[in-house]
C-alpha cells in the first residue's frame, strides 16, 4: 500500500527556511506603505476635499457625496502608482473571513476603446451579487440585493494589484448582513454614553474612543503533512489522532527559541503586515508545540478589527509561501492547548485620558472607579450574552471543555481593586469624604497607583480580567471575527453608562451634589454587580457550583447559548442603543444555528469517510498479516504450541476485530442520527440535535480509532501522527 504519510514526512524533513530579505528601510519608513493614510490623503486630494474627509473620519460628520469623485480620483491615482489595476469593496459577511469581488478600473470610453476610471459612485456604494451570503432569511432570494457601503474611518489599502475599500454590508431594507455595520453603531453608542459620563469629570471631553488590542494565537503545520490529513483540510482540526508521547508536559515550547522555518515565516508576515499598516509588535512560541502568537499595538476598535481580519488572511498566504499551513481553529489537536484571541479593550477620551486607568487626582480616581464598576455592571447584566458572542462550533471545544477560559463569564480584578471596591461599598458614606485643609476634598479611599499593571497578577483562568488599564476578554475564538464580541461588550457598556448617568442626573435634579450622587450610585452598583467578580480559580469544580448559586449563566451547549441574543433584555439593549433591531437579531441567530449544524455535519461526514476508508482497511490489513503469522506458527509448531507462542498476536487480532466492529456500528449510528436530525425544520432544534446526539457519537468513534493507532503497525498507518504534525517544522 502506497503510504502518503511517509511521503509527506520525507518531504517535510527536507524543507529549509526560506530566505526573507530584511528591508533596507526601517519599519517607520515602510509602515503603511500600501495604505492610503492621512499623509497620502493630504498629498493626493485637494485641500478642501481633504478637510471634509478628515471631518467625516474624526467627527463622524455625514459624508458629502460631492467630494466622493475627488476622493476616488486621488485614491485611484495613488493606487495606480503602486501598480493596482483593480478595486474591490472588502467586507465582513456573517461567514468567517472577508469577502471581495474584484473589478478592473476599466470602462468604455464611448469611442470603441477603454479608459481607466474609478468614480465616487463606485467608491461609495456597490451592489455585489450577494444572494449566497448568509442572511438568516432577511432577504428572500428574489430580493437578493445587498449593498456594500464605504467606511471612510478605515483607510483603503492595496493587496497585490487590487485597491481594497473597507465597507459595511447591508440589505436593501437596511438590515446589517455583516459585522462591521453593528460594530460601528456600537462604537457610536459607547462614544455617546461615555462622553456624557466623562463630562461629569472633565468638561472638555467631546468624544470617547474604544481601543482594541488583540493577541492572535495560531498553529503552524507543515503543508505536506497537512495535505495528508483530510480531516485538517476539510474541517480545520484533527478528528482523530492519539496523543504524542511528548507534547507540552515539559513547558519547553512556551517562549522558547523560535524554530528557523517559523522565524522566517514570522519575519515575512510581519514585514507584509507592517506594510499594510498593522502595527505588529510581539511574537512568541505559545504553550503547545507548533503553537505561536502574534500581537500588534492596540488601535481604535474598528481599525483593529479590520486589521485582525486582514492579518488572518495574510497569515494564510504567507504560510503557504513558506510551505506551512496556518491553523486558526480553536482546537486543532486534542490533549494540547487550543488557540484563542485575547481582546484587550479600553476606552479613552479625545483629550487622551485612558478611562480604565487610575489617575493622579481625586477626580481621576472617582472617574476610574465609575468606569470599572459600570463595565462590571455591563458584563454582569449580559454575561450570558457576552458568552454567546464568542461561542461557535469550533470555540465550543475550548469553552465547553476544561480549557482556558471556562464557559462561565466572570471578572478578575486583583487584590487592590477588590479592596478598593469593598471599601467604597462598606465605608460609612460620610467617611468616604472628608474636607481637609490644603488638599480640599479628600476621599478616604486607599491610594490607587497610576500603574497597576504589575499589581494585577495574571490570573490566566479568568475570561474577563482587569489588567491594569484595560479589560482583557480572553474567551474570543482564534478564528472569530473580534467584532462579534466587541459589538456586545460596547453595547452593554453603553447601556450601563447610560443607566448610570440617568440615575445620577435624577439625584442631582433632586438637589443632591454631583459627586455625592455619583458615589451613591456607584455604591449601589458595586453591590449589584458583585456576583460577576471572581478572583479565584475559574477551572475548579467548586466555582461551577458557586457560579450557579450566584445566578451566572452556566449553559455550556453552544446552540443554547445563542438563545441569549433573543432574550428580551438583550433585544431591549440592542434596540435602545440603536445597534440592532429584533429582526436582525433573529436573522443572525438563524445563521448562527445553521453554521453550527453545518460544521458538525461536515465533521461527521469526514469522520465516517476516514473511519471506513482509512482506519478500518488499515487495521484489517494489519490484522490479516498477524493472522497469517499465527497460521505460520501453527504450521511450524503445531496447534497448541503455535497458538501459545502467538498469544500476543491473537490478542491484537481480537482487539482489532472488536474495535473495528464498534467503529463500524458507530459510523452507522452516526449516519442515522444525521438523517434524523436533518429532518428537523427549526434551525435551533436541528443545531441542538447535532450538539446533543451527533457530536458525542463522533467522540466515541474517535476513542476507538485512537486506541487502534496504538496497536496497528506504524508502517501501515496512513494518517500523519500527532508527533509528526506537532514537531516537524
Ligand atoms: P500580555 O497579556 O500577553 O502580557 P501585552 O501586555 O503585550 O500582552 O498586551 C497585549 C495587547 O494589549 C497588546 O495589543 C497591547 O497593545 C494591548 N494593550 C495595552 N494597553 C492597552 C489598553 N489600554 N487598551 C487596549 N489594549 C491595550
Ligand atoms: Mg494577554
Q: What is the pLDDT of residues 326-359, one digit of tens each?
A: 999 999 999 998 999 999 999 999 999 999 998 8
> Does ligand 1 come within 6 angstroms of the Cβ of 297?
yes
Which atom of ligand 1 sits closest to the CA of residue 468?
23
pLDDT recorded at residue 444:
52
Higher pLDDT, 227 or 358: 227
- The cell for 676 is 434524523
Interhelix angle 362-381/514-528, rounded to 10 degrees, is: 40
Instruction: Tell me the pLDDT band of 548, cut-offs 50, 70 and 90.
Output: very high
Query: Pairing mode, if any, of strands 464-466 and 411-412?
Result: parallel
d(CA 588, CA 135): 7
Cα 347 to middle of ligand 2, angstroms: 17
* pLDDT average, residue stretch 58-63: 85
Question: Would the pLDDT of 448 be above 80?
Answer: no
Q: Ligand 1 pocket: which of 214, 215, 473 to mutate (most atoms <8 Å of CB)? A: 215
d(CA 475, CA 78): 40
> Does ligand 1 come within 6 angstroms of the Cβ of 346?
yes
Cα 308 to middle of ligand 1, angstroms: 14
- Would you call the peptide bond into 405 cis, given omega within 30 degrees of 0 as the criterion? yes
pLDDT tens profile 229-238: 999 999 999 9
Q: Lowest-pLDDT range, 219-233, 374-388, 412-426, 487-501?
A: 412-426
Cα 305 to middle of ligand 1, angstroms: 15
Does the complex come out with an ipTM higher than 0.90? yes
Q: Ligand 1 pocket: which of 273, 282, 293, 344 to mutate (most atoms <8 Å of CB)? A: 344
Instruction: Tell me the pLDDT band of 293, cut-offs 50, 70 and 90.
Output: very high
pLDDT recorded at residue 130:
61
pLDDT recorded at residue 436:
39
Based on DSSP, count helices (H) and strands (E) in the chain, helices before strands.
28, 19
The radius of gyration computed from the CA coordinates of the chain, to the nearest angstrom, equals: 29
pLDDT recorded at residue 250:
63
Instruction: Tell me the pLDDT band of 461, cut-offs 50, 70 and 90.
Output: confident
pLDDT tens profile 483-513: 999 999 999 999 999 999 999 999 999 999 9
Is the Cβ–Cβ distance between 488 and 382 less than 8 Å? yes
Cα 356 to middle of ligand 1, angstroms: 13
* pLDDT average, residue stretch 291-297: 95
Higher pLDDT, 455 or 115: 115
pLDDT tens profile 685-706: 999 999 999 999 999 999 999 9
pLDDT recorded at residue 245:
75
- The cell for 390 is 464568542
Q: Positive or negative, the Cα torsion across 370, 371, 377, 380? A: negative
Instruction: Tell me the pLDDT band of 108, cut-offs 50, 70 and 90.
Output: confident
Instruction: Tell me the pLDDT band of 711, cut-offs 50, 70 and 90.
Output: very high
The tally of CA atoms less than 13 A away on the side-chain side of residue 59 is 10
Cα 368 to middle of ligand 1, angstroms: 18
pLDDT tens profile 126-144: 887 666 777 777 755 445 5
> Does ligand 1 come within 6 angstroms of the Cβ of 213?
yes
DSSP string, 9-70: HHHHHH--PPP-PPPSS-HHHHTTTTB--HHHHHHHS-HHHHHHHHHHHHH-PPP-GGGHHH
pLDDT recorded at residue 257:
73
Question: Would the pLDDT of 442 be above 60?
Answer: no
Name the average pLDDT for the chain.
91
Instruction: Tell me the pLDDT band of 251, cut-offs 50, 70 and 90.
Output: low
d(CA 98, CA 96): 7
**Closest residue by CA, ligand 1 atom 14:** 213
Q: How far is CA 403 from CA 285, 408, 559, in A?
A: 19, 12, 19
* pLDDT average, residue stretch 113-117: 83
Cα 413 to middle of ligand 2, angstroms: 15
Which of these, 334, 328, 343, 335, lies nearest to 292 by C-alpha position?
Answer: 328
Percent of the residues in the chain that have a pLDDT greater than 70, as a whole number:
92
d(CA 429, CA 222): 63
pLDDT recorded at residue 282:
87
Cα 342 to middle of ligand 1, angstroms: 9
Question: Would the pLDDT of 660 be above 70?
Answer: yes
Number of C-beta neighbours around residue 613 at 10 A: 12
> Does ligand 1 come within 6 angstroms of the Cβ of 282?
yes
- Ligand 2 being an ion, which residues bring their Cβ within 5 A of it? 342
Cβ-Cβ contacts under 8 Å for 631 (sequence gap 6 or more): none
Instruction: Tell me the pLDDT band of 648, cut-offs 50, 70 and 90.
Output: very high
Higher pLDDT, 359 or 430: 359
* pLDDT average, residue stretch 280-302: 91
Q: What stretch of H or E contains 318?
A: helix 301-321
pLDDT recorded at residue 137:
73
How far is Cα of residue 467 from the mean position of the Cα atoms in its chain? 19
Instruction: Tell me the pLDDT band of 404, cut-offs 50, 70 and 90.
Output: low
> Does ligand 1 come within 6 angstroms of the Cβ of 215?
yes
Cα 646 to middle of ligand 2, angstroms: 56
Find the DSSP H helices in 510-615: 514-528, 541-550, 558-561, 568-576, 582-610
**Closest residue by CA, ligand 1 atom 3:** 215
Which of these, 400, 677, 330, lies nearest to 557 by C-alpha position?
Answer: 400
Find the DSSP H helices in 208-288: 223-227, 230-235, 260-275
**Residue with C-alpha cell 509448531?**
637
Q: How far is CA 216 from CA 6, 292, 330, in A?
A: 32, 8, 11
Instruction: Tell me the pLDDT band of 439, cut-offs 50, 70 and 90.
Output: very low
pLDDT recorded at residue 580:
97
Amino acid at each position: 500500500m502506497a503510504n502518503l504519510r511517509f511521503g509527506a514526512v520525507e518531504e517535510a524533513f527536507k524543507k529549509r527556511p526560506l530566505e526573507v530579505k530584511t528591508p533596507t528601510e526601517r519599519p517607520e519608513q515602510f509602515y503603511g506603505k500600501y495604505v492610503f493614510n492621512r499623509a497620502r490623503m493630504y498629498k493626493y486630494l485637494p485641500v478642501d476635499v481633504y478637510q471634509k474627509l478628515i471631518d467625516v473620519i474624526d467627527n463622524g460628520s455625514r459624508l458629502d457625496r460631492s467630494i466622493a469623485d475627488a476622493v476616488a480620483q486621488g485614491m485611484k491615482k495613488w493606487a495606480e502608482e503602486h501598480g493596482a489595476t483593480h478595486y474591490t469593496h472588502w467586507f465582513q459577511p456573517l461567514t468567517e473571513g472577508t469577502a471581495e469581488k474584484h473589478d478592473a478600473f476599466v470602462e468604455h470610453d464611448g469611442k470603441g476603446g477603454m479608459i481607466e476610471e474609478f468614480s465616487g459612485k463606485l467608491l461609495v456604494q456597490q451592489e455585489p451579487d450577494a444572494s449566497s451570503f448568509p442572511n438568516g432569511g432577511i432577504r428572500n432570494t428574489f430580493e437578493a440585493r445587498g449593498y456594500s457601503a464605504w467606511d471612510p474611518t478605515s483607510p483603503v489599502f492595496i493587496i497585490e494589484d487590487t485597491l481594497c475599500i473597507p465597507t459595511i454590508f447591508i440589505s436593501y431594507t437596511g438590515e446589517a448582513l455583516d459585522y462591521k455595520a453593528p460594530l460601528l453603531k456600537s462604537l457610536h453608542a459607547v462614544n455617546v454614553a461615555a462622553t456624557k459620563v466623562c463630562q461629569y469629570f472633565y468638561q472638555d471631553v467631546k468624544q470617547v474612543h474604544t481601543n482594541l488590542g488583540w493577541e492572535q494565537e495560531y498553529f503552524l503545520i507543515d503543508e505536506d503533512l497537512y495535505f495528508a490529513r483530510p480531516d485538517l483540510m476539510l474541517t480545520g482540526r484533527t478528528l482523530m489522532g492519539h496523543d504524542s508521547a511528548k507534547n507540552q508536559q515539559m513547558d519547553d515550547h512556551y517562549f522558547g527559541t523560535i524554530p528557523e522555518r517559523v522565524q522566517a515565516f514570522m519575519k515575512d508576515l510581519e514585514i507584509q503586515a507592517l506594510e499594510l499598516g498593522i502595527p505588529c509588535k510581539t511574537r512568541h512560541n505559545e504553550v503547545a508545540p507548533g503553537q505561536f502568537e502574534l500581537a500588534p499595538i492596540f488601535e481604535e476598535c474598528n481599525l483593529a478589527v479590520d486589521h485582525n481580519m486582514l492579518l488572518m488572511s495574510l497569515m494564510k498566504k504567507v504560510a503557504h509561501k513558506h510551505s506551512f499551513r496556518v491553523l486558526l481553529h480553536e482546537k486543532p489537536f486534542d490533549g494540547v492547548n487550543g488557540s484563542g484571541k485575547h481582546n484587550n479593550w479600553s476606552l479613552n477620551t479625545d483629550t487622551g485620558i485612558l478611562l480604565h486607568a487610575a489617575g493622579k487626582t481625586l477626580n481621576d480616581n472617582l472617574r476610574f472607579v465609575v468606569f470599572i464598576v459600570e463595565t462590571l455592571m455591563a458584563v454582569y447584566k449580559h454575561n450570558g450574552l457576552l458568552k454567546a458572542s464568542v461561542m461557535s462550533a469550533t470555540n465550543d471545544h475550548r469553552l465547553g471543555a476544561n480549557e482556558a477560559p471556562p464557559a462561565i463569564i466572570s471578572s478578575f480584578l486583583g487584590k487592590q481593586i477588590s479592596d478598593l471596591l469593598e471599601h467604597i461599598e462598606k465605608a460609612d458614606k460620610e467617611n468616604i469624604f472628608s474636607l481637609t485643609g490644603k488638599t480640599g476634598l479628600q476621599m478616604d479611599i486607599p491610594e490607587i497607583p497610576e500603574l497597576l499593571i504589575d499589581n494585577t497578577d495574571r490570573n490566566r483562568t479568568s475570561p474577563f480580567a482587569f489588567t491594569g488599564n484595560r479589560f482583557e476578554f480572553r474567551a474570543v475564538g482564534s478564528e472569530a471575527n473580534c467584532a462579534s464580541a466587541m459589538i456586545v461588550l460596547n453595547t452593554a457598556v453603553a447601556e450601563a453608562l447610560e443607566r448610570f448617568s440617568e440615575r445620577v442626573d435624577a439625584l442631582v435634579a433632586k438637589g443632591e451634589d454631583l459627586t455625592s450622587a455619583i458615589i451613591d450610585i456607584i455604591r449601589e452598583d458595586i453591590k449589584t454587580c458583585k456576583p460577576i467578580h471572581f478572583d479565584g480559580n475559574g477551572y475548579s469544580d467548586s466555582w461551577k457550583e458557586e457560579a450557579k448559586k450566584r445566578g451566572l449563566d452556566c449553559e455550556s451547549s453552544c446552540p443554547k447559548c445563542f438563545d441569549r441574543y433573543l432574550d428580551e433584555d438583550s433585544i431591549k439593549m440592542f434596540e435602545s442603543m440603536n445597534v440592532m433591531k429584533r429582526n436582525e437579531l433573529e436573522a443572525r441567530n438563524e445563521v448562527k444555528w445553521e453554521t453550527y449544524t453545518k460544521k458538525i455535519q461536515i465533521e461527521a461526514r469526514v469522520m465516517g469517510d476516514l473511519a471506513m476508508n482509512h482506519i478500518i482497511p488499515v487495521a484489517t490489513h494489519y490484522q490479516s498479516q498477524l493472522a497469517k503469522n499465527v497460521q505460520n506458527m501453527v504450521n511450524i509448531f503445531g496447534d497448541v504450541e503455535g497458538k501459545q507462542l502467538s498469544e500476543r498476536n491473537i490478542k491484537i487480532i481480537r482487539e482489532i476485530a472488536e474495535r473495528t466492529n464498534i467503529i463500524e456500528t458507530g459510523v452507522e449510528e452516526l449516519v442515522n442520527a444525521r438523517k434524523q436530525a436533518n429532518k428537523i425544520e427549526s434551525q435551533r432544534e436541528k443545531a441542538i440535535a447535532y450538539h446533543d446526539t451527533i457530536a458525542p457519537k463522533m467522540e466515541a468513534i474517535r476513542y476507538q480509532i485512537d486506541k487502534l493507532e496504538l496497536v496497528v503497525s506504524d508502517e501501515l498507518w496512513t494518517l500523519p501522527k500527532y508527533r509528526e504534525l506537532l514537531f516537524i517544522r
